[in-house]
Structure 1
Amino acid sequence: MAVSADAALRMLRERGRQFVTRGMRNCQARANDALFALVEGAADADEQSRCMDAMRTWHGGRRAVNEGFSRRVDLAFAALGDRARTLSQLSAEPLRLVDDEGLAEIIMVDAMAAAAAAAIRQPLAELGARVEALLGTPLGTRELPLSPEFVIWAFAREVAALDVDSRARQVLLRAGEDTLLRALPEVIDQANELLRDLGVGLAAEPEPAAEVAQAPELPGAVETAAPGPQPAGAPRPAALCGSASRWLLATLPPGCMASEDDDGARQDLTELFGALAREPQRRCGAPRQGLLARAQAALAQRGGSLAGLHPLDRKLLTLVDTLFEAMVSGTWMPMPLSELLDSADVPVAELASRDPAFIDKPWHPGRRLLNEIISAATDYLDQEGYADQSLFQRAAEAIESLGSLAAEPQRLAQLLAEFVALAEDERERIEKLAERELGEAAARERTNLVHRRVADVLNGRLAGRSCPLALVNLLEQAWCRVLFLAWFSSGEHSQQWRVAIHLLDQLLGLLGDDRPDAELVERLWGALGERLEEIAFDSFEARRLLAELRGCLARRAGPSGYPSGTLWAPEEARQLGDPGLLVAVTSLNLALPGDPGTEGEEEEYLLSDIDLSRADSLRVGGWVELEEAGGERVRARLLGVVQPSGTHVLSDREGGAVRRVSRRRLALAMKEGRLIALDNSRLFEQALEQALGRVAAVG
């Protein structure tokens, strides 16, 4: 070799820096244009405002993205020279939960990396082999700083740090794909040419890289070389250490591998899985048979038994059998999901046997696909007639193909992306059906809120006092509407609301004056009439109500007393037909739409912050089971939460409203056990954790 490894790495690092400088300059220009197009194409003012905010955030943060991306590339090159010391800095990512939008972005980045890697498969494999020869050690895909997977994921992590919405992040990621990834072929060719000129040979004849880019490992996981998937249809002895799950290998007792490493003692799992797949489907209502029992029966027909399998194969079958037993014994198993899982254990076992990363890596596309299928079957499939739904048919096809796609990780990732897109279409369809119900609920809640606020203002000034019946009539029939429309159209802090309150207070003060100023009365009555005319109140009724109230001034009967000293109930005074009679006001009955009612005090006493937090934790789009007054249990989806009242709108599967429940009543029902959340979002992962624990405990 003409130069040292350190010198060659420094030259490669300089090429990498040039690539970052040029690529990020082009990326920023492309992102600016794309975000501007997003602003121009906004459907309404609110969306345009959000797009403008995203553009401002990008302009303010693009320098940090540039510096962060450059730092990641530098650290990756440094890690090649000092892997023990520097790689830990590169991999220190905080543990975080991923929501639906985050998962969609992960899938999108995976697809970008896979497409870019497929286009430069041979030169990328050659560069990896030359760098391995330079280092003298094997090199993982994510350790090569110029690989499409490393580049797009490093850029994606920096973009994720920006405070922009998912749509803007996807625009920025597309800009990175169009600039950074498209510049990689030239950069990799230059890197290969550089190393060839420096005399760096190949560590081994490079094979085309068939591995698809996968999402990054969960932070904190130990990075070890995972075995590659086995070709579909080829005999796969799980006892070979290079083709077995690291987790399964760790469960074997010492010396087990050597004692069982006899090809004649191992059964061909491919034939076993084929025999199991050809079995007729379980009839409806028939008891379920686990994978182990069916495998034992299939082996017995061929004169074999489970004991004849290699220990790793027995462990694998036991794990999958335990996994599906844990899933079907969950708290909620809808019929569509039950039918899908009935036929899934063999494909899952076949996939796990051929691709050990399925067990070891939480972000394996096969596991993510199963999680998506479970969520979609739970949320979007009907309990009856589901077999005719395209979503169910696509899910069944995806499950059936799991085993055959073990050797095609790129196709598996594509299948995941296709199913997520199909589930997203179904989610959007349900949301559109639900928009009307949510809109009506929101309008009703807003109406109730305004009604309640107007009632609080008027009752706060008159409740417990006496006043002329004419004033009660004016407030209940007319002035309450002025206040209602002022709040509804402009809000409590608006000029219209403040003027309406001011006129009300002036009127109450005037009625309490024994000698009201005539000019003030004239101006005030004129202002009251103008406000009633503005809200299109009936002009005849307005003149009558104001005239009756003005007649009370002429009789000098104020809220402090009545000449006779008698107080009447409003209904009694109306029957007497005298609007000047003094009435005792307890609560006004306002002629307004909506219901001003509030929660009962007993609920306030029974509920704690913990109880309320349980209600707040319910997932929008998730399912609940609630007990009716007659004891019947009904399942409904949480369509949404209407603010500021916190009313939860529950719907049927097609988005029609079932009922509206206040936050406190919902929390009370959960506390009393009359409502439970039905959540299958982590059904597979939780069942796998249980199965791994049980198999490890048995040893």
Structure 2
Amino acid sequence: MTDAKVVHLNKVAPEHSPNSPVGRLPVALINLRDRAAQQLKQALQALFDNADDTLFEMADRATSNAEQSGFFEAMRDLRLKRKNIERGFLQKIFESFSTLNQYEIGRVPQLGTLSFDSLALIQNDELEERVALDSMVAKVMSRDGVAVSHLTTRLNALVSKKLDDKSNPLGPMSLCGLFLEACGGLGVEIRVKLIILKLFEKYVLSDLDQLYGEANQALVAAGVLPELKSAPAPRRPGAQHAGGRAGQGGAAVLAGVAGYADEGMQEVFGALQALLSEVRGAGMPRRELPADAVPISSNDLMRLLSHLQQRLPTQAAADFDLHHQLEQLLGRASAKSGRARVVGEVDEDVINLVSMLFEFILDDRSLPDSLKALIGRLQIPMLKVAVLDKTFFGRGSHPARRLLNEIASAALGWGEQDDTQRDSLYQKIEQVVQRLLNDFVDDPGIFSELLADFLAFTGAERRRSELLEQRTRDAEEGRARAELARRQVEQALNERLLGKTLPEVVVRLLQEAWSKVLMLTCLKHGTDSAEWQAALATMDDLVWSVEPHEDPEARLRLLELVPGLLKALREGMASAAFDPFSTSEFFSRLEALHVQAFQRFKRQLSEAEQPEAAVEIVAEAAGAAPEAPLLELPPVEEVAVAVELPAMIAVVEEIVLLAPGESRLAEPEVCLADDDEALLQVDNLRVGSWVEFQEDEEHKLRCKLAALIKPTGKYVFVNRTGMKVLEKTRMGLAVEFRHGAIRLLDDALLFDRALESVIGNLRRLKGA
């Protein structure tokens, strides 16, 4: 079979690029991508760490004020946009890897060599930029060309997208293009851009030899073309004609690899056949054929399978015995012809292999049971594909394999309690299965069509779930920040109030109103800010102003303090949108407290030092109208009777601030040793891991770890739509692991896992 009937994804779903729902990458490639991204991230950080110094030196050498201002403006722009550029560049690296298992080769940044015919169409700035990029790429290729070519060759053996050195996601041309795209938002002139490109060459491109060396070693360790060493392309018998057709240079390398890859795919089936032949009679029954048995052709087998395929929808897939059904059909054919008809040896091997694959699939605990029944009905269509094309077993990009993998991947988060009649995913999988059972005869092109359609569907679902998941993460991070701020405010209040006896109105004001001001300040400015220190100072001043003081100097301080204190309190409570009615009540009672404080000082004053001025200050600061009469202080002997003593309260318990609807009841939590195996299991959880919680004997909950909120230590789990369904602490999760109430779901490619299992079982039978 060729790829001539592949339906290109960009024709079916043009919105796929660049966020297309693409095929999953092999583990070796994911590890390679992550390690490369880490090195590139560090190199990019070094670039930006040195960019300021470089631009400052250029500004220092500037010959005019305008030129100097341009460099300083560029420094400022680069500082502001640094994080976005770093994040954007790495995101583009990940996107370029994620599209490697698409059929259509995506467009790579066109940084090719210049032609004289095109020079007139290019603006001077763009021309300078392209010349600089060409020079940078040429330097890397002259130094690391062989390593880049080997890496491209190995990538081609792993993915469906055909790559050359220019489209290799880690090649110098791709990296330069992606960096230039990430810098697209910089509003700098060409000379500054050329300086930034020079820095990219110095800090990123100069270390690519190490990246390519490690990448090739990692793929060799994973068993990807270990024979590829010093030669530009592997020379294998039967593949030399491909190199001859290619003509020259890197094209010859790619053509040679294509021939080698096809041969390798056929070799996988050959190796499986060899294993099957070695275990027959040991772990597997040996074929006992009549002497006059006549093998049927593959075409006849396809017709028999099509007949069974039409009957399958009316039967439960798990109860369908393919071997038995085929034997019955062959028995009828033998009776009609008078000669024993049997399946040929090669086709029999295919049937055995596909049966073993589906035994694993229908046994797989990662697949929900109700979806297993649907996927099990794909056994005959997959068998027919394998009969038609033996590379089905060796080619990871085979549309039929990819369709099965994508269905299994989408089904990973599907819960048994989901309503199958109304659930869109279940209905879509059922539609795909039914279409194959109804329409697939002998044209494998239908798998490419259904794969593109299914990817478009899951891509739309994934985008929706990722959006909701991001909102969930943002909300949880916001909650964590608020929780952290609340703890900071609690600590500040308890440090100042715990153990003191103060007027009840002041304790209430601080706990109910000023705590909100502190919280808002902490969230907006942080605890290291001047605003936070000012809010704490206001609280300290308030507490001091209502405490008893006998020192005559305290009167002067109180006179100076009250106006500013009341102003700061009023402004703070207004900024926190505290209830105006409650604010007015607090200030009325606070005014009375301050008046009483001045009354206490009156005993120590001479007749010449009447405190009317002090009372006026208090009244005005509290918001009294200018025309209102000033408070008149009664004679000293009447104070005890005339002024009601304030209600006092002793703060003996720690103040606890709760969020709306929160009840902080400490959950009893088991403490495990740091090296406990259950805790190690929790620490090995990665964001994106799917798990299954056993809620009770009948119900299970499938969810994905969406975020680990570090300030609170909460693990937040979402369902497949991105909605939060659970949150756990590290210790709480460890207890679940210890009790066996939680297990990790294997999100590796289903077909690949099934094939590994089949090969492992055959090897064990061989050694038995």
Matched, 1:484 2:516: no
Residue number in structure 2 paired with 1:674: 741
Q: Distance in 2 between matches of 1:205 and 1:606?
A: 61
CA separation of 1:439 and 1:545: change in aligned 2, threshold 3 A: farther
Q: What SS class does the counterpart of residue 637 from structure 1 fall into?
A: strand
1:234 matched residue in structure 2 = none
Shift of residue 393 of structure 1? Answer: 4.9
1:373: Cα distance to partner?
1.5
Please list the CA deviations of residues 382-434 of structure 1 after superposition, one character each: whole Å capped at 9, or x if unmatched. 5512687663256326865888455x6xx866754443232111212334555
- The corresponding residue for 1:325 is 359
Instruction: For residue 695 of structure 1, report the CA deviation from its aligned partner.
Output: 2.7
Q: 1:546 aligns with which of 555, 577, 590?
A: 590
8 Å contact from structure 1 (residues 246, 360) kept in 2: no
Distance in 2 between the 1:610 and 1:404 partners?
Answer: 52
- 1:372 positional shift: 1.0
Q: How does 1:336-355 map to 2 (within 5 A)?
A: 337-355=371-389
Residue deviations 1:558-603 (CA, integer Å, cap 9, x gap): xxxxxxxxxxxxxxxxxxx964535142122548646484865734
Contact 2:295 2:341 in 1 (8 A): no
Q: Which amino acid aligns with 1:296?
A: E
How many angstroms apart in 2 are the aligned matches of 1:444 and 1:554? 44
Match of 1:12 in 2: none
Provide the C-alpha distance between the structure 2 equivalents of 1:353 and 1:623, rounded to a whole number of angstroms: 34
- Structure 1 residue 540, shift from structure 2 partner: 0.6
Residue 262 of structure 2 corresponds to 226
Provide Cα deviations, 1:43-94, integer angstroms capped at 9, x if missing partner: xx999963586479999998665545566766799xxxxxxxxx6x875779
2:300 match: 271
One of 163, 168, 171 as aligned partner of 1:154 = 168
Q: Which residue is 1:534 aligned to?
A: 575
How far apart are the structure 1 equivalents of 2:148 and 2:475?
A: 55
- Would the aligned equivalents of 1:276 and 1:346 in 2 still touch at CA under 8 Å? yes
Task: Give the corresponding residue for 2:284.
Answer: none
Structure 1 alignment gaps of length 5 or more: 1-44, 78-86, 99-105, 114-148, 170-201, 230-240, 558-576
Relative to structure 1, the CA distance from residue 588 to residue 251 in structure 2 (aligned partners, 3 Å threshold; closer, same or farther) is same
- Using the alignment, how far apart are the partners of 1:622 and 1:352 within structure 2? 32
Query: In the alignment, is the contact (CA less than 8 A) between 1:54 and 1:168 conserved in 2?
Result: yes
Please report how far the alpha carbon of residue 317 of structure 1 lies from its aligned counterpart in structure 2 after TM superposition.
Answer: 1.9
Matched, 1:495 2:530: yes
Specify the code of the residue in structure 2 equivalent to 1:274. Answer: R
Q: Quote the offset at 1:486 in angstroms.
A: 1.0
Alignment of 1:198-213 (within 5 A): none
Correspondence for 1:7: none
Q: Give the Å deviation of 1:275.
A: 1.6
- Counterparts of 1:75-154 in structure 2, within 5 Å, are 110=161, 113=162, 149-151=163-165, 153-154=167-168
1:386 to 1:595, Cα distance in 2 relative to 1, 3 A: closer
Residues 1:333 and 1:253: Cα distance change in structure 2 (over 3 Å): closer
In the alignment, is the contact (CA less than 8 A) between 1:651 and 1:659 conserved in 2? yes
Unmatched runs of 5 consecutive residues or more in structure 2: 1-78, 94-128, 184-239, 282-288, 602-643
User: CA–CA distance in 2 between the matches of 1:282 and 1:393?
Assistant: 11
SS class of match (2:164): helix
Matches within 5 A, 1:408-427: 416-427=451-462
Give the secondary structure class of the aligned counterpart of 1:602.
Answer: coil
Report 1:675-694 matches (<5 A). 675-694=742-761
Q: 1:246: how far off?
A: 4.1
Out of 482, 485, 488, the position equivalent to 1:447 is 482
Query: What is the CA–CA distance in structure 2 between the aligned matches of 1:501 and 1:244, rounded to whole Å?
Result: 75
How far off is 1:656 after superposition?
A: 4.9
Partners of 2:180 and 2:484 lie apart in 1 by 33
Matched pairs, number: 520
Q: Secondary structure of the residue that 1:640 maps to in structure 2?
A: strand
Q: How does 1:58-73 map to 2 (within 5 A)?
A: 67-68=139-140
Q: Distance in 1 between matches of 2:480 and 2:321?
A: 51
* Fraction of identical pairs, as percent: 24
Q: Say if 2:714 and 2:729, in contact at 8 Å, map to a contact too.
A: yes
Letter in 2 for 1:226: D
1:300 equivalenced with 2:331 (yes/no)? yes
1:76 and 1:90 in contact (8 A); partners too: yes
Residue 384 of structure 1 pairs with residue 420 of structure 2 = yes
Greater displacement, 521-530 / 244-253: 244-253
Q: CA deviation at 1:480?
A: 0.6
What pairs with 1:495-574 in structure 2 (closer than 5 Å)?
A: 495-508=530-543, 511=547, 514-515=550-551, 516=554, 517-522=557-562, 523-537=564-578, 538=580, 539-547=583-591, 550=594, 553=597
Q: Deviations over 1:18-60 (max 9, x none)?
A: xxxxxxxxxxxxxxxxxxxxxxxxxxx9999635864799999
Q: CA deviation at 1:155?
A: 5.6
Q: Is the 8 A contact 1:451 1:595 kept in 2?
A: no
Per the alignment, residue 146 of structure 1 pairs with: none
Residue aligning to 2:402: 368
CA contact (8 A) 2:472 2:724 kept: yes
The answer on whether the counterparts of 1:624 and 1:637 sit within 8 Å (CA) in structure 2 is yes
**TM-score where L is the length of structure 2:** 0.55
**TM-score (structure 1 length as normaliser):** 0.60
CA–CA separation in structure 1 for the residues paired with 2:479 and 2:340: 64
Amino acid at match of 2:558: A
In structure 2, give the amino acid aligned to 1:453: Q
Contact 1:447 1:593 (8 Å CA) reproduced: no
Separation in 2 of the partners of 1:468 and 1:479?
15
AA of the residue aligned to 1:303: S
Q: Does residue 395 of structure 1 match 2:432? A: yes
Alpha-carbon contact 1:433-1:654 (below 8 Å) kept: yes
Q: Partners of 1:166 and 1:354 in 2: how far apart?
A: 46
Q: Deviations over 1:453-488 (max 9, x none)?
A: 311221233334444434322211221111011123
Q: Secondary structure at the match of 2:743?
A: strand
Equivalent pair of 2:716/2:728 in contact (CA under 8 Å): yes
**Which letter maps to 1:454?**
V
Cα deviation, 1:509-566, whole Å, max 9, x if unaligned, reads 5648653322443233443333223333323134135336536755889xxxxxxxxx
Alignment partners' CA distance in 1, 2:558 and 2:260: 93
Residues 473 and 163 of structure 1: is their aligned pair in 2 closer, same or farther, counting only changes over 3 Å? farther
Secondary structure, aligned partner of 1:496: helix
Distance in 1, matches of 2:686 and 2:391, equals 31
- The Cα shift of 1:671 comes to 2.8
User: Structure 1 48/369 Cα, relative in aligned 2: closer, same or farther at 3 Å?
Assistant: farther
- Classify 1:459/1:446 alpha carbon distance in 2 versus 1 (closer, same or farther; 3 Å): same
The 8 Å contact of residues 447 and 594 in structure 1, kept in 2 or not, is answered as: no
Please say if residues 247 and 360 of structure 1, whose CA atoms lie closer than 8 Å, have aligned partners that are also in contact: no
In 2, the alpha carbon distance for the partners of 1:487 and 1:669 equals 35
